[in-house]
Amino acid sequence: MSTGSAAVIGGGVIGGGWAARFLLNGWNVKVFDPDPEARRKIDEVIRNARQSLPMLYERSLPDEGELGFAMSVAEAVDGADYIQESVPERLGLKRKVYAQIESAAPDVPLGSSTSGFKPSDLRMGLDSGARLFVAHPFNPVYLLPLVELVSGGGDSGILESASRILTSIGMRPLVVRAEIDAHIADRFLEAVWREALWLIKDDIATTGEVDEAIRLGFGLRWAQMGLFETYRIAGGEGGMAHFVEQFGPALAWPWTRLMDVPELTPELVKKIGDQSDAQSEGQSVRELESLRDRNLVALLRALKREGSAAGRVIADHEANLGGEDMGRIPMITVRRMVPSDWTDYNGHMNESRYGQVFSDAADAVLAHVGAGPDYVSAGRSFFTVSTKIDYLLETHAGETVQVVTRVLLGEGKKLKLRHELRRASDGSVLATCEQFLLHVSLESRKSCDPERPVGDAIKALADAHGQLAFERTGESSQS
């Protein structure tokens, strides 16, 4: 999927998140928001996104697109390949915006971030209404992959096209087949929010206690399996049917207060605000955002390693990012941002992560010569016998680094690599590594010569890399 131009109408927390996700995936973005503060607010969201989204991947994202601010809706949508509306949740306002979009760009896919309205409500009175759909994201839009797509009788070709676009910027479209108020996820959020308000109002729990009750227990289950598969397990060997039979009757018990809505009196609003202040212990919203984004990066990376849930979405997107150009001499084997979970208490990249980067660099060489995961599945592999790492300069989370690799020796079962880890911004060498690998048979666990094409490819690299001084890398170098 190639990149394009996106128009973002409405530049609040959600619109800013959309802008950031498109930009960091290489799209150009034009924003329209009449708020004079919009530019500052969007810049803050994009700054957060730059320090977190690239950390999800072990490869580089495309070069960032260009961000522009338009003076009108018409100017923003002019030439756009995709339009996303995220203005406040007032039906009249949304319809007014759609009318302006219609006269300037009647054919472009138009998604609405609405958390509650149905597409058939939104498109009422529009000639171009069939290309309008709900594309409901979750905050922070640049990190959470879910987007609910609701067509509600709109153009199915447009919805498919939108689905491809959203997938190409790392999201996971969940197509909601029937339109209902609040789609799917927000119905759950609404139900929990009501119950939580009762607990606060009745002094059963504080806001902080409610959050603990969620994040130390079922929140962890829901981050990786959701509701039904969790309960399937809880049913034990009897499975889902057993669980429903066991748990079902409790539904009729008077456990929840949800039949009734607590009145949001000034007293209740103040109580919630005060408890929330106490819970956050003086941390600003900006600090909480950073904390949230660090946590989400850590959780998403953890799930990615396991290939589960949201982590699988990240991994799929990464697979489409494309690797480095391995045909260059010397080879660039790794190019990536140092993620926040790689730092130690000194605040710089933990020494073991240097080892990881060099291990990834070796994997890139092996994949390039045809000795990647498929080769391993077929019963052959290179095992690392020894590594010698020299640590030269410190590096920190958020920096982009790359590894320049040379094949020093490639003879029979022996493979020797030399890597340089460099800071991408100025080319300074952060660490060097000499790595000795042996080719083994995974059945006999003994060393042996590699398959013919692999051996030949390694030999060709060793010959090519031997020809040139290691320093001629095309990168500036601090010596």
Question: At residue 259, what is the residue type?
Answer: M
Both structure tokens of 328:
């260059």
**Does the protein bind a copy of itself through residue 203 (CB under 8 A)?**
yes
Phi and psi at residue 255, to the nearest 5°: -85, -35
Q: Could you tell me the smallest distance in angstroms from the CB atom of residue 235 to a copy of itself?
A: 7
Q: Could you tell me the smallest distance in angstroms from the CB atom of residue 263 to a copy of itself?
A: 9
Q: Which of residues 348-367 bind a copy of itself (CB under 8 A)?
A: 350-356, 358-359
Residue from 47, 96, 215, 472 in contact with a copy of itself (CB under 8 A): 215
Kindly tell me which of 80 and 300 has the beta carbon lying closer to a copy of itself: 300
Kindly tell me which of 80 and 171 has the beta carbon lying closer to a copy of itself: 171
| Pair 375, 381: CB distance under 8 Å | yes
Among 304, 105, 339, 128, residue whose Cα is nearest residue 224: 304
| Pair 278, 208: CB distance under 8 Å | yes
d(CA 260, CA 244): 26
Among 405, 341, 268, 377, residue whose Cα is nearest residue 52: 341
222: CB partners within 8 A, 6+ apart: 230
Q: Compute how many residues bind a copy of itself; rule: CB under 8 A.
A: 143
Question: Which range touches a copy of itself (CB under 8 A), out of 53-61, 162-170, 291-299, 457-465?
Answer: 291-299
Residue from 99, 182, 326, 408 in contact with a copy of itself (CB under 8 A): 182
Q: Which of residues 8-27 bind a copy of itself (CB under 8 A)?
A: 12-13
**CA 311 → CA 22, 137, 169, 298, 317, distances in Å?**
19, 17, 15, 11, 10
Residue from 176, 401, 403, 461 in contact with a copy of itself (CB under 8 A): 176
Q: Could you tell me the smallest distance in angstroms from the CB atom of residue 149 to a copy of itself?
A: 12
Q: Could you tell me the smallest distance in angstroms from the CB atom of residue 300 to a copy of itself?
A: 7
Q: DSSP secondary structure string, 219-253?
A: HHHHTTTTTHHHHHHHTGGGHHHHHHHHHGGGGGS
Kindly tell me which of 100 and 224 has the beta carbon lying closer to a copy of itself: 224
**Does the protein bind a copy of itself through residue 34 (CB under 8 A)?**
no
Binding mask 249-288 for a copy of itself (x = CB under 8 A): -xxxxxxxxxx-xx-x----xx-xx-xxx-xx----x--x
**Does the protein bind a copy of itself through residue 428 (CB under 8 A)?**
no
**Does the protein bind a copy of itself through residue 120 (CB under 8 A)?**
no
Both structure tokens of 138:
């979750």
